[in-house]
Structures are given as structure tokens and as C-alpha cells.
Structure 1
Amino acid sequence: MTTTFDPFPTRFDDTWRAFDGIHGGMVLAAMLRAASVETGAVPAAATAHFYAPVRPGPIDMTVQRGPAGRSPGVQVRAGTAATALVRLSRGAAAARHAPSIETAVDPDSLAGLDIPIDFAPFSQHLDIRPINAARPFAGGPDPEFDVWIRLRPGLEFTGVERAAILLDALPPGLFAIRTAPAPIPTVELTAHFAPAAGSATGPWHRLRHRTVWWTSDECVDETELFTTDGELAAQARQLRRILDTSR
């Protein structure tokens, strides 16, 4: 069965634009909400494919239920620009084991990362406090970022939706070793959500994000998101196309 998704909000705001389309994490969050509205279940994982930029404006979202089985899921389409296979949780449960991380550094004691809004409009919705020395286009030694991050107050998302946005909030890890911007769009993003994604007690999350391998025309980034208390909230891996190989 295919149904039309009527979410809130009913359109993608231009303030969520990345470069030439809506921020991929926001698109994924909207598809996760579509799956939840259709099924009443909580997403446990999702794999999204981006075929073209998702433009600002009304959301054209449809949900199709998959066959019953040991891993129930739905397919969500955002027009012709993106699709996602969303796997659903069978119920809330506490984690028996999940990685944790030291979070002793107070994010309020760190300086914020200033990203020009005209370069990445969606950055106006984020508060990013770098922990390590990596900065975009600084020509550093390692293709990785380590930051505290939160959504600005006033934005209403579920824990899983918020995790989806934050997982895709940072630029490619390659930007830490480059000295100039280049188009490196995401073509595939897979995210897994731990129980802590829905039970985080504060807005701040620690985000570790790195490019693990790259060639002349593609790269793969891995991301880990932790709660304020250091619990693993979500993980992601994404494949990106490198459209400009200059440094």
C-alpha cells in the first residue's frame, strides 16, 4: 500500500539548504518521520539514496510498506530526488551494551565554529563547538572532526530525527585537509540509531566524523554521535562523490 505523507512541516524551508539542495540530514529526518507516521513505530535504521538535490518547497513524500518479516520496514520516497529504506524497531528497549566516550570537556567552555550562512544556510540551525584542532579548509593533517554539537533552541524533532540531522551536520572529513571548498555531495547514507537516540537528556551531543578512505572521485565518511552522558546515540556511513579533486 502506498500513502501520501502529510507531515509537519509540510515544506522544506530554504534555511535548510546546504549547497544546491536541502541538507541531506533534514531530508532523512523527514523520511524517518514519514515512516513513523505511517507505521506508528520507531525507526531503528535507514539507508537513503540521493539522486538529485532536493529543492526547497512542498514535501512530496510517499510511504510504501514492505513485506512482513523478521525485519519490518517501509520504503519512503521524497519525490524523484531521494529514497530511503527504513527499518523499524519492534519496541523500546534499554541498551545491554553500547560504546561510550569520555565527555568531560564542557561544550559551553569552547569557542563556536562560525560557518558563513551564505556558504551553508542550514548552519544557522546548529551550534558547533570544535574539540580538536581540525577546521574546514585549514589544510590539517587528518581528515576528521571532533565536536560538540546541538540544534538551536525552538526546533522540534524526535530523538531519532535529531540524530539524523546531526549525523550529517559536518562537511566531509576531507574538508579538514583541503584548503579550498569543493562539491562533494552525498549519494548514499546509512544510519543506525541506538536506544540512547530517543532518551538523550540534553541538547548537546558529541560528534566524531572522519573520512576513512577516498579515491580521485569518491570517498566514504564514518560518523559516531554520543549523548551528553557519553552514550552512543547513532552511527552513520556515507558514500560521497568528489566532483573537484584540486586542493
Structure 2
Amino acid sequence: MAIFREASAVVERGDGFTAELDPQWSVGDKLHGGYLLAVLGRAAVARAGAGHPHVSAVSGTFVEPPEPGSADIRVETLRTGRSVAQVRAELVQHGRVRVSSLITLGQLDSTDAHWSSLEPVELPDEQECYQATVEPPGATFKVPLMGVIDQRMDPRQLGFAFGKPSEAGVLSSWQRLGDGSDWDPLSLLVALDPVPPVTYDLGLPGWVPTIQLTAYVRRLPAPGPIRVRLSATEVGGDRIDEVAHVWDSTGRLVAQAIQLAAVRIPSA
């Protein structure tokens, strides 16, 4: 299902929800972490009700990779207040919790920031950037996610594709939803888990499984493409942090995230 709303749909069943996890929203044979959080977020929105329609904060722990196909979602309302609702949501397959999350919901708007320390990342025009493909050159696995996300990467940061990573620890891109719809608080969770991981720019290609991801959605994005900047702070102990910032087409910061992921560091 290339349409995000359909791919992330949930159906209420008894005390919880069910979802049909779509293999298109994958990297290799693993479902994309941001997509999984969006599915849990949609269930949380349904449970929180009309007074709290938007996900504003998500903390997700990835226990083990779920499989494409049917999954159950357990949702527990922790608190519902005037401006904030707090929910625990878990994705379950074969009786095992695969992803666990704490989700905060409220009412977002498009008001400009009172103060910000960040300027939007500078990128060449979309047409001058490299369009990521389902079959990246030189890769040993496919990236089906690139068939549902239109991602155009800064060509100045593609040295890793030619065996010459910059080792600056930064990757930036333009992104649009492949179905042509505008970004919203749930789909932004996909953008906050960018592909490829920043390890590629550090000369560490390979699988980088997310252990924990915390995301904040700051405001409703304007229509049009978003700019995404992914960076790292430190690599060590077989772990890496990845920090993502997302700006909308007007240059406003609309979302940010930090995740802890596993990385394989070659022996000296």
C-alpha cells in the first residue's frame, strides 16, 4: 500500500486495535521504525479522541523486529487532561511485544516559534539532489521504503557511495510522501527515522537497528516538501546516536528526534 494513511490504518477490535503491517514500508526485510511508531500513533489518536487529535511526543522501544502482516495493538490510557493525553501503546505479534511506546497527544497548530536556535538546513534545489531508489547502487539489499517516499539527497554528501565518506556525520535530504499527500504529525514520524543511517557517512555501512527513539512533533507542517537533517554525536561501545531535525516548506522546525542504535565497529 503506497498510500500512507492506508498503510498505517488501524481497526478497533474489543479493547485494542489491529493493523496490517505493509512490507513496502521496509528497509531490507525489516519494517521501518518510524512507520511502526506511526501505526502505534494512529491507534493512540483513535483512543485519545477528538480533543487530542495530534501526536506531539513519542518514546518507542524496539524489542524485536515485527513481521509484515497482521498485528495487535494494545492501548492503555494513562491520563487525559485538558490539553494533554498520555497513552501507552504496544505492538504485539504471536503473543510477544515487538514495539512498546509512550505517546503524548494534544492539539498542534502552525504558530511560529517564539525563539529558535536552529536555522533550516541548506540544500540545493530538489531537482539538483540525488533521488534515492529502491535498489541503491552497490547495496546488497533493496529499500522498499524508497518506493513510497520521494527522497532527494544532498549530492555533496554522497561520497560514501563511491567509497569516500566525508566522516562529518551528517546526511541531508528533501522528502515528500510518494502518494502526493501532505505531511502530518503521524507521517513525520517516518521522516524522523531517515534512511540511510548517518553511519554510511562515517564509513560504517551495514545494518543499524534502532534500540530506542524519542520524537517530538512541534507544529503542523505547511504543504510541500520537508527538509531533513540527520547527524551523529558519538560512536562507541557498538552504539550510535542519531539526531534528526525536520523543517517544512516555510522553513519552520516541525519535528525533531534522537535515537540510540546499534552499530558494528570494525576491529582495529
| Short-chain TM bin | 0.7 to 0.9
* Secondary structure, aligned partner of 1:201: coil
Q: CA contact under 8 A between 1:219 and 1:239: conserved in structure 2?
A: yes
Q: Pairwise CA RMSD of aligned residues? A: 2.4
Counterpart residue type for residue 207 of structure 1: V
Q: Is 1:46 the counterpart of 2:58 in the alignment?
A: yes
Q: Is 1:18 the counterpart of 2:27 in the alignment?
A: yes
The whole-number CA distance in structure 2 between the counterparts of 1:129 and 1:152 is 12
Q: Is 1:86 the counterpart of 2:103 in the alignment?
A: yes
- Corresponding residue for 1:31? 40
* Secondary structure, aligned partner of 1:66: strand
- Corresponding residue for 1:200? 222
Q: CA contact under 8 A between 1:95 and 1:194: conserved in structure 2?
A: no
Counterpart residue type for residue 197 of structure 2: P
Q: TM-score, normalised by structure 2?
A: 0.79
Q: Is 1:175 the counterpart of 2:200 in the alignment?
A: yes
CA deviation profile, 1:78-127 (whole Å, cap 9, x unmatched) = 11100110011256462442444266742133332335174222222122
The percent identity for this pair of structures is: 23
Q: TM-score, normalised by structure 1?
A: 0.85
CA deviation profile, 1:40-91 (whole Å, cap 9, x unmatched) = 2211101000010021001311210003568530001011100110011256
Counterpart residue type for residue 70 of structure 2: P
The whole-number CA distance in structure 2 between the counterparts of 1:94 and 1:86 is 22
- Corresponding residue for 2:5? none
Instruction: For structure 2, list consecutive stretches of 5 or more residues without a partner in the other structure.
Output: 1-13
- Corresponding residue for 1:73? 86
Q: CA contact under 8 A between 1:170 and 1:209: conserved in structure 2?
A: no
- Corresponding residue for 2:144? 121
Q: CA contact under 8 A between 1:159 and 1:199: conserved in structure 2?
A: yes
Question: 4+ runs of 1 displaced by more than 6 Å?
Answer: none
Distance 1:83 1:175, change over 3 A: same
More strand by share: 2
